[in-house]
Amino acid sequence: MEPVTTLWQRLAALPRHISALLLGSMFAVFILQIVFRYFLNLPVGWTVEWVTIAWVWGILFSFAFVVRQGDMIRLDIVYSAVPRAVRRAFDIFTGLTCATIFIYTLPAAWGYVTFMEIERTAYLRWPFDLVFGIYIPFHISVIIRMLLTAWGGIMGSRTRDEVDLHPETHDYD
């Protein structure tokens, strides 16, 4: 059965590789842009556009498929201080509230993304419904994650590792 496990592991690691690829391409294309402009004296426009699209996709894709609950930036000062029962109540409330709001707004969000088909990007001339398309998986993944959070609260099955803060995720300060 071992090959099956390996295949499964590889599939599971795929989103991580895609998000790494997106960040890697931002990095590489930025360097290309500098080289083209200052060393070859050839200003190019598609580089900025690619980097911007990779950034939008990188954020929404990573959040949808890669980021763990513990990676999210949260104010856990109260959450980590209250008893377990209260924490479960918190999880049920936040999970259900957030999921309800995101389910209710999904049709409107879908409407906006598909509407943007009429606009195109400046250089690559890509239609904006594709550029913004990653938003829909993001929106849906929030719904699923929040339902799981609420379910975890109901069953009392969330582990500490799932909810503890990982310090390395706060690199923006």
The reply to whether 50 sits near another protein by the rule CB under 8 A is no
d(CA 155, CA 149): 10
Site membership for another protein, residue 10 (CB under 8 A) = no
Quote the least distance from Cβ 166 to another protein, whole Å: 9
Residue 51 contacts residue 114 (beta carbons within 8 Å):
no
Residue 3 Cβ vs another protein, minimum distance, rounded to whole Å: 22
Q: Of the candidates 14, 37, 156, 161, which one interacts with another protein according to CB under 8 A? A: 37
Could you give the C-alpha distances from 73 to 33, 150, 164, in angstroms and in order?
Answer: 32, 18, 11
**Cα separations (Å) of 74 from 3, 100, 131?**
39, 20, 29
> What stretches of 35-83 show up as alpha helix (H) in DSSP?
46-65
> Vertex 26, ends 23 and 30: CA angle to 5°?
150
Half-sphere exposure of 85 (CA within 13 A, CB side): 0
* Interface with another protein (CB under 8 A), residue from 6, 9, 10, 112: 112
| Under rule CB under 8 A, residue 73 binds another protein | yes
Q: According to CB under 8 A, which one of 50, 63, 150, 152 is a site residue for another protein?
A: 63
Residue 29 Cβ vs another protein, minimum distance, rounded to whole Å: 9
The interface with another protein within residues 81-100 (CB under 8 A) comprises 87, 90-91, 93-94, 97-98
Residues numbered 114 to 153 that lie near another protein (CB under 8 A) are 115-116, 118-120, 122-123, 131-132, 135, 139, 142
149/93 Cα distance (integer angstroms) = 9
**Closest separation between CB of residue 128 and another protein, Å?**
9
